[in-house]
A and B are shown apart, each in its own frame.
Chain A
Amino acid sequence: MKSTRTTHRLAACVAVASVALVAGCSTSGSSSSSSASAGSGKGTISIWAHSGQPGENAALEAAVAGFNKSHPTIHANLRLISADTYTTTVTNTPKSQLPDVLEMDGPTVGAFAYNAKLAPLKQFVSASVVSNATAGAIAEGTSNNTLYALPMYDSALGLYANKKMLDAAGVKYPTSTADAWTPAEFLKALQVLAKANKSGKSLDIDESSLNQEWGTYGFSPVIQSAGGNLIQNGKATGVLNSAASIKAMTEFASWKPYVDPNADGNAFQDGRVALSWSGHWEYPVYSKAIGASNLLDLPLPNFGTGSKTGAGSWTWGIGAATKDGSAAGQFLDYLLDDQNVTAMTNADGAPPATKTAFAADKLYQPGGGLALWGQNLQHTCPASAITSTCVAIYRPVTAGYPTITSNFATALAAIFNGADPKTALTNAAKAIDQNFSDNNGYQQ
């Protein structure tokens, strides 16, 4: 039935177009209820994932091969889609053509759930897998009180430091999150370190990706630490462009003279900078380049209400139109077991997103290379409920997230390139608010 209808859709649309009917072809393919069915628990399931680092791809391919070996009645078919087009591809694929299992970037869960592209997860995934997921993982995958996604790993964000260079320049550094640099101390450290280095630079922030998701993930904690936020109670004006947010972004812009453009991605490894504002994914590279004992993980600066940091990463859900929900659930059960999670996080240095694997991960436990960031991940909260004790903040779960991140990241990049922070943030806040009001606040 369905396939016959889609086959003739082009012809049908050609016909309606002459009468200039409204949007008929755009929305006819989707409805708001999930049509997922459990199926027989056998057969072929399709899986989409983004093509990440070579090590991540290898770990995922190995997990799929392991699944196929241990589940002879199911065949899992993996597709790796290049990361820069991944979200576009999923967004533009009608739900009937989405795979049984799909990976997605954490903050896109809200939009995909809102647009009925995902099946509620609990009907297909084992209760033990759900209960073993970290609190943050559940928060990130939950939209409108329904769990839609679970991740293999979380993320950790902070400052990497080259201990020898800091010591040589006589720069004192924080050893706990409570003790994080103030903006003034941070700026001073940047200046001293830049002066001590023949490169004249001291910081890497991956500046060429500021207007991408990296910008929102990496630098919304700056305004959140200052007491602002991306959005609060469905409104950006007043929080995104609060006086505290503007002040924090002004400070951010003042770092530019000390920032290495780092187009080659080697600034920290080559000793051109002593500090790198980055995430767990650099740990394997950095620790190898400058030695694990020389690599420090520092908290991000405290802009007023305590040091805050980002969290959340790629996560896994089940397509709303799957005919093999049971098999898809079995695959996720397998993928999210400790062995596969650990193999993956060993490849990319990410913090595991299951309780047992996280507890067993030496890197994030006391004494480990990223112990301080691991500590931070014990204190998480969603962006909608930031408390003074929480450190790691998940990005807002809302179908309006694409607008939020696009406007914030654009403003961030503009501010870094010299735009007035107040104007840029106010315009971004107004644009976000307009979009939310156009869409009735993205209420279900």
Chain B
Amino acid sequence: MRMKTKTLYSVAAAGLTACLAVSAPANADELTLCWAAWDPANALVELSKDFEQQSGHTMKFEFVPWPNFADRMLNELNSGGQLCDLMIGDSQWIGGSAESGHYVKLNDFFEKEGITMDDFIPATVTGYSEWPKGTPNYWALPAFGDVVGWTYRKDWFDKPEVQAEFKEKYGRDLAAPETLAELKEIAEFFQGREIDGRKVYGAAIYTERGSEGITMGVTNVLYNYGFQYENPDKPYELDGFVNSEGAVKGLEFYKELYDCCTPPGSSDWYMSENIDAYKSGQVALQMNFAFIWPGVEADPNVGGGKSGYFANPKGPDGHFAQLGGQGISVVSYSDKQDAALEYIKWFAQPEVQQKWWQSGGYSALKAVVEDPGFASSQPYAQTFLDSMAIVKDFWAEPAYASLLLAMQDRVHDYVVAGNGTAQEALDGLAEDWAEIFEDEGKY
């Protein structure tokens, strides 16, 4: 009995101590972080438990699937809603969110807390944080570095009979392609082939028309064929850059790739459809954002050395890849801005960023990616570094949504529906964009 009482006291005392240790401070807040519903978001939930313990604040998460993410969250911001205290918004939103006052400007906060943008990969600072681009006005902290790259079935590539047939046909070894032309040859080679008793196809590429899919796909080819968003010397001059001779060839290439080498019915595919096709053994190559790579490695069908990774191959006029990823911002309508800034301060710490990378998030902090052990820390780490060195992003103008949807319509109409020519599609795009910029008062 005495023993029992003693144990009871001990447990009570330990419980009380634990309660005191983790009890929330008087000004503890419940913060809501809004982001897309995908694997990295789940990793962030786990990571944020450390923040909850350290700060006493509690974290709530509002995740929306990608296809509805922009609709849902931009509605929230445009209506001045207070659902989100922290927003990991898409990189294209920066311009509109900064000009419309949705995000808190972070310059003073960064200065006060000693957070410097020099510590982050330059492309991510430009892509996720700055508005206007190229100026030191920061509206977000780079949160998740992402880029379009490629995954391939290494186990299929390594088959001796496949290797031999490829070498005989193309006169070179079957390996990860270095150019877009090589990529197309490989995709053509696998299209309709029988592997392990199943009919397989060449490549899963982005073709989705509703949100941003086909644009995020086709730009990986267009950039490398000479497409430019505007005259580098004269902003918003589009003609001859958007629809340059090279850009037309690039668009024709993407259509050829779609026609020759994709699975039937892949007319509206984006991230999740490509993942499904790849994991289920339908395709040899998969175009997708880098965020999926940890999931590929962990998958029993395609992980554990069965997959290889390579950066978007170069084209005749350049070597670029489409930037993805997001920065984390404090929503100006939040009444818990101090606590939200605390979260950003915590998230910017090198040890947290290191843990972020280890748990499946892509850190954009130089201290993490430039660490000597980084490149060999995961099978895809070097590809991530190579890809982040060649990124280019879509317009981040306040009118980005109109610009994006115009491109979606024009490109999908040509590539998937086969209407008109590539020249007509890009001429039309240049006209659409000029009209949008005219409405914006840019001319």
Do A and B pair up? The answer is no
List residues of B whose CB falls within 8 A of some A CB. none
A interface, CB within 8 angstroms of B:
none
